[in-house]
Amino acid sequence: MANHALMANAIRALAMDAVQQANSGHPGAPMGMADMAVALWGEHLRHNPANPHWADRDRFVLSNGHASMLVYALLHLTGYALPIEELKNFRQLHSKTAGHPEVGITPGVETTTGPLGQGITNAVGFALAEKLLAAEFNRRIDGVDHAIVDHHTYVFLGDGCLMEGISHEAAALAGAWKLGKLIALYDDNGISIDGKVAPWFVDDSAKRFEAYGWNVIGPVDGHDAQAVSKAIAQARKAKGDKPSFIICKTQIGKGSPNRAGTAKAHGEPLGADEIGLTRSAIGWTHAPFELPEAVYQDWDAKARGADAEAAWNEKFAAYAKAFPDLAAEFERRMQGELPKHFDQTVVDAVLHAHTKAETVASRKASQLALEALTAQLPELLGGSADLTGSNLTKTAATPDLRFDAKGEVVKTEAGQIGRHINYGVREFGMAAIMNGVALHGGYIPYGGTFLTFSDYSRNAIRMAALMKQRVIHVFTHDSIGLGEDGPTHQSIEHAASLRLIPNLDVWRPADTAETTVAWACALRNSRRPTALLLSRQNLPYAPKDALADISRGAYVLAEPERVGLKNRKAKAVIIATGSEVQLALKAQELLAAKKIAVRVVSMPSTTTFDRQDAKYKKSVLPAGLPRIAVEMGVTDFWWKYGAAAVVGIDTYGESAPAGVLFKHFGFTAENVAATVEAALAR
C-alpha cells in the first residue's frame, strides 16, 4: 500500500530544495497542497506519462501557477520526461521548469498559468470542450456505448484565483453550462503575499459556489489524503449536471516549523536553516534532490497510464470500425488539421466576395465569410459577449448552444449541437475560456465584442499569444465610426495596442474580400491567435486587379493608372487600413486632378506584413517615396514605417453621428490629399 505521507513529503522536499537552489520561487503552496496532490494524482487522475497528448486523458490545471514546483514534482515523480536535472534547473534559462508552468515547454503541463484566475477559467474551457465533443461524437448502437470522449478536468486553485473577478465570470458559466466533469479543489490556506487574507477576503466561498449551481463539498482536511480522495470520489459520483468545488483546509508551508501558516512561506526561499528544521520535522533524511526508491515506486504512474490508454485505444478501434467517418473526423480535429476542402472553400468565398463587390460594414463582411466557413468547418465554435446582433458572429450553421434540465447538450432536429455561445457580459471570461477550448483540442473558438472592450480581454489575449493558440477575436465597432455612443465606446489606441502583443495577428480589413482573406489567415494560423477589427459603418468595395497578395498583410491596391495618370510614376504612397482605404482612393482621385501621382497601399494586417521578406516589402513601399498613413487611431504607431505624415487621431472621440465626426477629426479625402501635398512640399 502506498505511503501517502512519504509521497507528500517528497513533494515538500523537492519544492523547498528547488526554490532554495534557484533563490527564487514559492515553496509554501506546493508544501501545503502536497497531500491534495497525493489524493488526486495518486488515486484518481487518468493520464499516461508516456503520452502527454493522449486524447481522452484527464486534464489537470494548476490555476495558482506560482505553485509550479508542485506540478513539476508530480510530473517527475509519476514518470514524465522531466528528469531530476530539470528540477535542479528550476527557473533557469531554457529549462523545462519555468517560474510558472508553460504549455509546450514542459511535458504534461496543459496550460500556462500564473495570472491568477485564468487557470480556473481555462479549465472551464477544457470541460466545455469535453462535454461538447462527447455530445458530438459519442454513440450508442446495439446496446453498446461507444464513449470515446469521457474524461474529467481537475483544477487546483487558491485564494488569489477566487479574488480575481474572472473567477466569477468562469464559475457562473460553468454552473450555467452544467459542467459535471469539472472538479475544482480549493487550497483554502487563508494566506497571500500581504499576510492573512481575512481583512480583505471575506467571501463565503461555499455559498458563493452554491449560488453558481456547483456541488460544494467540504471543508475537508487538506492534509488528509484519504479525506481528499473520498471528496474527489464523491464529486465524481455527484449528479452529472453540476461542477464540483471541494474546499480543502490547508496550511501554507506545511512542515516548516517557523514559516508554516505565514506569508513568509509564500514567495521566497525558506532558507538553509529553516529547510534543515523542516527536514527534521517531517522526518526527511535525504539530501537535496535525492529520493528513495520507495517514493518513485509509490508515485510511478507509467504502467497504470499505459493500461488506461491501451483500454481507450481498444475502445476507439471498435468505434472506428462502427463509425469510420466519425473516427477520422475526430482524429482530424484533435490534431488541429483543417479539412481537405478548406482551401477550395476559401477560394470560393473570396471570389464570391470579389465578384459581388458589396458595400457592407466589415462586421457584416465577417458574417458573410463565416456563413461559408462555419458551414464547412464543424470545429468552428463561435460566441459573443452579449453583442451577437452587433458583432454578427452567429450564422445559419451555428445555432445557440443550450443545455437541458439534466445538463445534456440540446441538439437540433438534424442532430447537431449548438455552436454559438452566449457568454453574457463577460469579455475576460470569454477570452480565457476560448483559450481553454483551444488547448483542449477539437474546436477552433471565436468570440465577439466591441473593440474598446478588448481591454477587458487583453491579458487572456496575451496568454493565447504566449501559448501559441488558435483563438480568434472578433472586435467590431472599431473606431469613431461607431458614432453616437461616444468616446467610452470609440477605439483610439486599441489597434496600435493590440499590434504590440508578440505573436498576435491583427487584421483591419477594408472590404468583403479582405475580410474573407483575414478569416482564412486566422484559421490557417495554427500557432497564433488573431484579432479582427471590424467596422460598424458600411464600406464600399475597393476594386482590385488581383487577390493573391491580400494574405501578405499589405499590397498595392491602386497605382496612378487607375485614376488616368498613365505612364506616371508615383510621387508618394498612401498607406491605409480598414475604413480609411476608401478615403485613400478618393484622395488619389483628387490628387490626380492636380496631376499628382500617388500609389495606394491597403495594409489590412501590419503584423502579417512585418513578417514578409525584404524584397516584397520594398515592392509595396519603395524607398525614396514619402509615405502618408491614414488610420482612425493613434498616430505614434505609424512612424515605424517611415511615414512622412499621419492622418490619425490622438485624442478621445466625441458623441455625434459618424459623418459629423469624420469631418470634425479630419477624416476626409480632402484632408488626406492636402496632407500628401504638404508632405511633398517638404
Residues 504 and 527: their CA atoms lie apart, in Å, by 10
Residue found under cell 500609389: 599
Q: Measured between alpha carbons, how far is 309 from 447 in angstroms, rounded to an integer?
A: 34
- Peptide bond before residue 604 is cis, with ω within 30 degrees of 0: no
Give me the phi and psi of 209, to 5 degrees please. Answer: -75, -30
Note whether 73 and 26 are within 8 A (CB): no
Secondary structure (H, E, C), 103-167: CCCCCCCCCCCCCCCHHHHHHHHHHHHHHHHHHHHCEEECCEEECCCCCCEEEEEEHHHHHCCHH
* Residues 31, 259 contacting (CB under 8 angstroms): no
Q: Which residue has the cell 516589402?
A: 617
> Catalytic site residue 654?
no
Identify the active-site residue in 427, 559, 580, 631. 427
The three cell numbers of residue 193 are 503575499
Cell numbers 452544467: residue: 178
Instruction: Give CA–CA dist 60/72, Å, rounded.
Output: 12
Q: Output Rg (C-alpha) for the chain, integer angstroms.
A: 28
Q: What nine digits make up the cell of 615?
A: 524584397
Helix pair 512-524, 362-376: axis angle to 10 deg: 50
Q: How far is CA 230 from the centre of its chain?
A: 33
The distance of Cα 561 from the centroid of its chain, to the nearest Å, equals 45
Q: How far is CA 261 from the centre of its chain?
A: 34
Q: What three-state secondary structure class fits 384?
A: strand
Q: Which residues pair with 275 in a beta bridge?
A: none
Please give the single-letter amino acid code of residue 644.
Answer: A
For residue 57, the one-letter residue type is R
**Sign of the alpha-carbon torsion through 470, 471, 476, 480:** negative
What whole-number distance in Å separates Cα of residue 169 and Cα of residue 554? 38
| SS3 at position 379 | coil
Q: What are phi and psi of 195, to 5 degrees?
A: 125, -155
Give the catalytic positions in this structure. Answer: 427
